[in-house]
Amino acid sequence: MHTRRCSIMMLMATVLLAVVVPSTALAQRDAAAKMRGEYNFYGRSAGSSMRGAREYSNYYREYAQSAPSQQINPEIAREAADVIGAYITKARRHFAWMRTQAEGAKDQETLASLDSIDKHLAAASKSHHEMHETCLKASVEGAGTMKCCQEIDDELAAAISEHDKLMKRLAGDKAPASKK
């Protein structure tokens, strides 16, 4: 009976160790590991949002260029402007989160990258605002909206380039290659 009791106690101790040790190890992860994971989520989400805005801008320009006599359907123009604006807003929100974390960590290198990205997003947002105002009119001018889309695209390309460098640095050169 004593042997059986010892065996049961050994089994319970083994199970307890199997449960407690990994959970303790996970709980003791360093703050930087958590931060890298969150930066990865918000950073990649911001990148996806910028790429989405850029793709919509390109889709709209292709449509506007192919429209007969530059007769733009105002509904299509407004839809494109709304989606482009939503993507830019999402990217800015994700980068704002990253900025808050970088400020808390006093990470000057990340803050410098975010300053550059923010500058390009602000310029893209300004061009988007001009596009949106043009799209609210009863008759939408194709050339004017395409010019705004080109400006949006140029600024987003610069922001995406800076973003990709930032994400690569934050991942310690282990980030997967992003699609352009």
Using CA atoms, how far residue 132 sits from 81, 85, 105, 122, 137, in Å, is 5, 8, 37, 15, 9
Give the pLDDT confidence score for residue 166 in this predicted structure: 95
Q: Is the pLDDT of residue 65 over 60?
A: yes
What pTM does this model have?
0.76
Q: Is the pLDDT of residue 147 over 50?
A: yes
- Beta carbons within 8 Å of 30's beta carbon, 6+ residues apart: none
Please tell me which residue, 178 or 43, carries the higher pLDDT value. Answer: 43
> Residue 8: which pLDDT band, with cuts at 50, 70 and 90?
low
Cβ–Cβ < 8 Å for 47, 178: yes
Hey, what are 94's tokens? 């994700």
Give the pLDDT confidence score for residue 108 in this predicted structure: 96
If phi > 0 it is left, if psi is from -120 to 50 it is alpha, else beta; for residue 172 that is left
- Which residue ranges make up each domain of the chain? 37-170
Among 65-69, 125-129, 147-151, 170-174, the minimum mean pLDDT is found in 170-174
> Residue 38: which pLDDT band, with cuts at 50, 70 and 90?
confident
If phi > 0 it is left, if psi is from -120 to 50 it is alpha, else beta; for residue 106 that is left
pLDDT tens digits, 108-146 = 999 999 999 999 999 999 999 999 999 999 899 888 899
pLDDT averaged over every residue in the chain: 82
Q: Give the architecture-level CATH label for domain 37-170.
A: Up-down Bundle (1.20)
Cβ–Cβ < 8 Å for 115, 108: no
Hey, what are 22's tokens? 């990994």
pLDDT tens digits, 16-28 = 444 444 444 433 3
